[in-house]
Amino acid sequence: MDSSNRNPTTDEEDQPHLRRIGRISSHLIHTDGSDQHQLVPLPCARKPLKASVSALTEVMKGKHRDLQERIFDFFSSRPDLQTPIEILKDDHRELCMRQLSGIVRDAGIRPFQYVLDDPERYFAVLEAVGGVDMSLGIKMGVQYSLWGGSVINLGTQKHRDKYLDGIDSLEYLGCFAMTELHHGSNVQGLQTTATFDPITDEFIIDTPNDGAIKWWIGNAAVHGKFATVFAKLILPTEGGADMGVHAFIVPIRDLKTHQVLPGIEIHDCGHKIGLNGVDNGALRFRSVRIPRDNLLNRFGDVSPDGKYTSGLSTTNKRFAATLGELVGGRVGLAYSSVGVLKLAVTIAVRYSLLRQQFGPPKQPEISILDYQSQQHKLMPMLASTYAFHFATKYLVEKYSEMKKSHDEQVVGDVHSLSAGLKVYVTSYTAKSLSICREACGGHGYAAVNRFGSLRNDHDIFQTFEGDNTVLLQQVAGDLLKQYQEKFKGGTLTVTWNYLRESMNKYLSQPNPVIVRWEGEEHLRDPEFQLDAFRYRTSRLLQSAALRLRKHMKTLGGFGAWNRCLNHLLTLAESHIESVILAKFIDAVQSCPDKDTRAVLKLVCDLYALDRIWNDIGTYRNVDYVTPNKAKAIHKLREYLSFQVKGVARELVEAFDLPDDVTRAPIGLQSGAYAQDGSLTRAMGLFSIGLEQVQLQDNLKGLATQKRALHRLIQSVTDF
């Protein structure tokens, strides 16, 4: 046969070696004609890095750093508003109220105006006040983001005209009464009722049983005058129809006397693990009547004759729209949690640079950060802090865009992204606070060095504004929805765009060449790193979809979901890690200064390889990396930790946290721990302060304890 007429496909089928060469070539060269965006590998040669604190600070500081500095300067000038190490619950609550009042009335900063007009500025304020006292950050969030935000987002113009000025000025201190004793995450299961009475044109708010008592309501125990109460709207005129959960403004205390109003019972939730500057309380309603106009009626309204109208056709759609408008709380928690992590890492790294212990024989002791074990604890954490900074910065920008444009695609993107980042960042920060405490040894256990209070105050971030496990399931559900739309030819929203490519590219067999590449340049290539993250997510997504389909045949939808639950949680976490890395890479490649870009590239590489190594078993199980490549990843991860250690001081200085915020003697910019007895003097002043507190406590301690015991007994008796 003439060779010119031979079929090359037939040759490949007859000769396996040609088939293998063709497969390898297809991996190395794009043959589909697609014009894919290529990530640019940055130089990563092993040479000393030039880390400029001022240049790094310029990259890290937000657009509203000047506003944050105003807040720091205000509290620095007001020692009477600074939170002491030891403070009684009731005193802390009053101090927290004075701190909030000081910001608004003395410093002239009006956070509520930023909630209305400039969310990015509001979140900058939230981060700053959280650094002063986390209780203050939460109390401010309850007042403006939750109580004020519910009026803005769920109400209409009549509600804004009536309440916004009072909310802004703190005249109308309020609560957000959603959670009940028996229902937290399952908001649709709330039992509080709001029954319309057409004769008096009023709603009657009732707590039908003990399980329906509103619980953990911030601002309720002491300061709140109003509450946004979430309750089932009941229409007797429609045969007792339950129209689903709606929000109602309910006055709970007299505006002049501050006395609790008739029909309302308020009880104190008492001392908590942390955040004791926030006065959490329980609310019970006994046939409390409110005007019909107090229904926040953006998504549903009731006419004087009891007719219900809504632009949304079903209860589920109205419920989704209602909760969707409250996503700002999750954005704030994710952003604030990064601020807590920055603070903890700063204290731990500064201490580790200064603390010396052991060393070679007959030579000076060395810094504990020179030990590989300490680097292993803190350097990936420092890298993660930078990664989270850029990811949450992007989230805040998208949230601001959403509030201005109301674009449905952006709305959907922000809802899922805020849920995922809130979970991932708060969970990581909670674990890191304990690691930082341990890394600072005995000094880390001293209350004055902050880790205990930071850990206790932050711990609840994993629960409120959506339990982390529940929110991860929302992310997984959205991923599965996008997966389904991919195969139906639907469009994908912004955050999930890579799934379009991944369904084709990442679900094919791993590249037989790349799985063996072990070179540093390859491992530090952002394209390899993103591919690895996205490959894992895509494999998890495809296998989850197949498992759910299989189990639904025998277990039904709920049973199948529960059977695959841990798989789905892992899928959601994997996706969020991919988004975080993508935003970090974007930040690195957009950095204009060459030296600073090289430092950020180093930190980004450590973040990526640390995450890959932490889940190396998954990559090995699917032959995404060979054993030798896995070893190379581990070795490079250790080396990058060592390199980051060399610029750790500059990296934490770039967070630009003043000593008035850091406050821990072992973590001050001045290096108090190392300077001629400065730490001793600081601890001495702390001891004197404690003695003064203890003397005051001795005078009133017994009476306070008796009052607290009486209140506790009374609360139990009343309930």
Please state, in angstroms and rounded to a whole number, the distance separating the CA atoms of residues 563 and 339. 36
- Residue among 217, 211, 227 at smallest CA distance from 282: 217
Helix H, strand E, coil C: the string for 380-406 is: HHHHHHHHHHHHHHHHHHHHHHHHHHC
Distance of CA 351 to the CA centre of its chain: 26
- Whether 213 and 719 have beta carbons less than 8 Å apart is answered as yes
Please state, in angstroms and rounded to a whole number, the distance separating the CA atoms of residues 255 and 280. 20
Antiparallel, parallel or unpaired: β 308-309 and 301-302: antiparallel
- Residue among 601, 608, 604, 605 at smallest CA distance from 577: 608
Please state, in angstroms and rounded to a whole number, the distance separating the CA atoms of residues 466 and 179. 11
465 carries an active-site annotation: yes
CB 19: neighbour CB atoms within 10 A?
13
- Whether 246 and 693 have beta carbons less than 8 Å apart is answered as no
E strand or H helix at 281: strand 281-285
- Whether 633 and 92 have beta carbons less than 8 Å apart is answered as no
14: exposed, middle or buried (Cβ count in 10 Å: 0-12, 13-18, 19+): exposed
137 is in an annotated binding site: no
> In the numeric block, which tokens belong to residue 561?
């979901």
CA distances from 404 to 121, 398, 421, 570 (A): 14, 10, 21, 33
- Whether 514 and 528 have beta carbons less than 8 Å apart is answered as yes
Please state, in angstroms and rounded to a whole number, the distance separating the CA atoms of residues 514 and 632. 13
Please state, in angstroms and rounded to a whole number, the distance separating the CA atoms of residues 575 and 542. 13
CA distances from 207 to 212, 230, 239, 296 (A): 6, 11, 21, 19
CB 65: neighbour CB atoms within 10 A?
15
Q: What are phi and psi of 88, to 5 degrees?
A: -70, 155
Given 180, 202, 465, 653, the catalytic residue: 465
Q: For the chain, report the end-to-end CA distance as a whole number of angstroms.
A: 97
- Whether 43 and 644 have beta carbons less than 8 Å apart is answered as no
158: exposed, middle or buried (Cβ count in 10 Å: 0-12, 13-18, 19+): exposed
Name the residue type at position 624: Y
Bridge partners (DSSP) of residue 226 are 174, 251
User: Burial letters for 527-560: b for 16+ Cβ neighbours within 10 Å, e otherwise?
Assistant: ebbbbbbbbbbbbbbbebbeebeebbeeeeeeeb
33 is in an annotated binding site: no
- Residue among 618, 648, 646, 647 at smallest CA distance from 633: 618
- Whether 237 and 307 have beta carbons less than 8 Å apart is answered as yes
46: exposed, middle or buried (Cβ count in 10 Å: 0-12, 13-18, 19+): exposed
Which residue numbers belong to the known binding site? 179, 218
Which residue numbers belong to the known binding site for FAD? 179, 218
> Could you give the residue numbers annotated as active site?
465
